[in-house]
Amino acid sequence: MARLLEGALGHAGFEPTLASELRTLDKEGDPDRQERLEAESEAVAADLIRSYGTLAPARRPRLWFTYHVYYKAPDWIGPRIADALRIPYVIAEGSRAPKRITSPWALGNRSAEAALDRADLILVMTDRDRPALERCRPRAQILVDLPPFVEDDWVEASSGASRGLPGPDGPELLTVAMMRRGDKFESYRILGASLRDLADCPWILHVAGDGEAREEIQRLLKPVSSQVRFHGEVGDRAVLRTLYDKAHLFVWPAVNEAYGMALLEAQARGCPVVAGAFGGVASVVRHGQTGYLTTPGDTKAFADAIRTLLRDTPALRRMGSAARRFVSDERTLAHASNRLRSTLMPLIEGARR
């Protein structure tokens, strides 16, 4: 998504540059690490301020843009730069977490909240984030919806051209996901358990993905291994498109997904989705129209949703067409670029006065 935002900004007529490669992510909740990251961030900010000070005013940044500020990854750099240069400060996908005030991420949470408070504008990417952002919004702060999107080439006219009627082995299912421990592993566990309950339906599952948990995940799927085809990591977009185009249904439990880019990509290629209704997944799948969302973590509900669609080829086709229209009409880089330009230009122009 960070790369997509960079591309959308460029498409909107801006000239985005990566100011720093410092990562403030702390997955483990280590207070000492958070303190070190804060100090490193302050040093980076000081260097940038000095560097920008040597530039002619016309060559200095006109706006600071930070992606994904939350308690595990606060922004200590952006607010300082924005204050020093007197430029707008914008956050895309900011999340507030009041329950983390006394957690091992207390420093990260305080710092993320301070950055969110300082932001002139927050681009809200999921409905899940909006309520907390609204409750804590400073009076002058602007909240603007910018839902997740994909590059325009995902919705080419040839989308789904190679998708035919289900063959003798049944409809083709598809999963595209990294194979790592944690939430991804739990999603694969739910997927495997659900597929074991579908013995009454013919199907073939294609899996695109790899990672350190590959062997464990293959063991999870061993009871249905005769119906699973592993493709490993698919780095070639043309190959990935072919998998999407041939699949009749994309399946992914989506445990703790922020939203799930693969869910949007599948729909862009005319493939409906069955996914768990975790996090912001409801912001990228329209339940009952472009696919089905099931109760988070409910293995039976997930299996039942797949079974319902496997037995209803006309519904699969209707949802596939609706999915492609949804992404084409609302969720492309071109749409995001227009939203960014109309939203950011007034901030920049206002700061010039």
pLDDT tens column, 286-313: 999 999 999 999 999 999 999 999 999 9
**Strand extents, DSSP E, the chain:** 64-69, 89-94, 121-124, 142-145, 172-176, 204-208, 228-232, 249-252, 273-276, 291-294
% of the chain at pLDDT higher than 90: 92
Burial string for 287-320 (b: 16+ CB within 10 Å, else e) reads eeebbbbbebbbbebbbbbbbebbeeeeebbebb
The predicted structure's pLDDT at residue 162: 59
Q: What angle do CA 174, 176, 178 make, to 5 degrees?
A: 145
For residue 353, is pLDDT > 90? no
The predicted structure's pLDDT at residue 158: 55
Choosing among 3.40.50.1240, 3.40.50.2000, 2.60.40.3680, 3.40.190.290, the CATH entry for 2-149+333-352 is 3.40.50.2000
Question: Please, what is the average pLDDT of the chain?
Answer: 95
pLDDT digits (tens, 9 = 90+) for 308-331: 999 999 999 999 999 999 999 999
CA angle 141–114–63, rounded 5-degree value: 55
Look at residue 40 in the predicted model and tell me its pLDDT: 98
Radius of gyration of the chain (CA): 22
Domains 2-149+333-352 and 152-330 agree in fold: yes
Tens-place pLDDT, residues 226-261: 999 999 999 999 999 999 999 999 999 999 999 999
pLDDT at 169: 86
pLDDT grade, residue 351 (50/70/90)? confident
Q: Which tokens go with 190?
A: 């739910």
Q: What sign results for the dihedral spanned by CA atoms 286, 289, 290, 294? A: positive
SS3 content of the chain, % helix, strand, coil (to 5): 50, 15, 35
Q: What is the pLDDT of residue 331?
A: 97
Domain ranges of the chain: 2-149+333-352, 152-330
User: Contact, 269 vs 245, CB < 8 A?
Assistant: yes
| Superfamily designation of domain 152-330 | Glycogen Phosphorylase B; (3.40.50.2000)
Cα 24 vs. chain centroid, distance in angstroms? 19
Burial category of 152 from C-beta neighbours within 10 Å (exposed 0-12, middle 13-18, buried 19 and up): middle
Quote the pLDDT of residue 164. 75
| Predicted pLDDT at 163 | 75
CA distance 250 to 255: 15
Q: Three-class SS of residue 64? A: strand
Q: The tokens 């194979």 sit on which residue?
A: 179
Global pTM? 0.91
pLDDT, tens only, 108-127: 999 999 999 999 999 999 99
- The pLDDT tens digits for 168-199 are 888 999 999 999 999 999 999 999 999 999 98
With a cut of 90, say whether residue 165 has pLDDT above it.
no
